[in-house]
Amino acid sequence: MNFFSSILCGIFVVTSINMKHAFVFPGQGSQYPGMGKEHYNNSAFAKKLFEQANEILGFRISDTMFGGTEEDLKQTNVTQPAVFLHSIIAFRTIDDAKPDMVAGHSLGEFSALVANGTLSFESALQLVAVRAKAMQKACEMNPSTMAAVLGLADEKAESICAEVYRETGEIVVPANYNCPGQLVISGTKKGIDIACEKMKAAGAKRALVLPVGGAFHSPLMQPAREELKAAIESTDFHSPTCPIYQNVAAKAVFHKEEIKQNLIDQLTGPVRWTQSIMAMIADGASRFTEVGPGKVLQGLIAKIDKTMEVEGVS
């Protein structure tokens, strides 16, 4: 190989490394009334998948998705399988979809694991159903909530959460690192109220309690974690076709046993979305496709790195 061939080869290798296509999948909160109805009416394949899901879940989730109200869709045991189902149907409408890497925001990890071959559709939906019901029960056992904190450094917000627990014994923890300047905290209702006041006093632009049923991604989800752990340990996982950047790890994960443990830990651990996207970019991602209802992740990725090519498939 001559000098110029070597240079050209080097350019090709660098370009190849820096042109990876990442697929990302949304979580709870991206649902909307009527979601998936168009797919059901216009695609025999989608209709088959919806009916299969109705059978696996033991109720007609398609009826709730197509005709339910926003309140109907906010129920955790409905929201999670609905978003998952919509995401997988959307993914399978993409011709020749071959992700180089995948990630999912909270619940979206299960969609991502179907996309990279780690889980079958049926197994993933069954796990999502277990997860949703377990989280619903945990919410009922421990009245709790979450709040969005805007315009405050993550380190300062983390410090305030620790301070609230130290001073009051009320659980408050960082739950979602969504993008720079946007952090969601999770904990007891009293703890969240105290933390919000402290966040605003520390300079946060907003500290807003969210209309959610419980403290997701916090120690208050421990009962749900145990139920999900048992279900995951009895489910077949396969070697992935490409790495997944999991919420609690924020790095490429290839091994199915590590994937299992991270899925379990996610229920009580934070969603490190900012860190995950940054790791994907560092590993060569230059194009992101959000697959599923809504455009939330597209907006977050644009705020994390505005140079990225971002698109959506719903």
Distance CA 266, CA 262 (A): 6
Q: Positive or negative CA dihedral for 73, 77, 83, 87?
A: negative
Q: Are 143 and 64 in contact (CB under 8 A)?
A: no
Distance CA 150, CA 147 (A): 10
Token match 């979601």: residue? Answer: 35
Token match 């959307």: residue? Answer: 90
Q: Answer yes or no: 105 catalytic.
A: no
Among residues 39, 62, 217, 314, the one annotated as catalytic is 217
Q: Where are the alpha helices (DSSP H) in 75-221?
A: 76-92, 108-115, 121-141, 154-168, 189-201
Other Cβ atoms within 10 Å of 83 Cβ, number:
31
Token match 């905290």: residue? Answer: 185
Number of helices (H), then strands (E), belonging to the chain: the values are 14, 10
The DSSP bridge pattern shows strands 144-150 and 182-188 to be antiparallel
Among residues 62, 87, 106, 218, the one annotated as catalytic is 106
Distance CA 85, CA 306 (A): 30
Q: Answer yes or no: 159 catalytic.
A: no
**Mind telling me the catalytic residues?**
106, 217
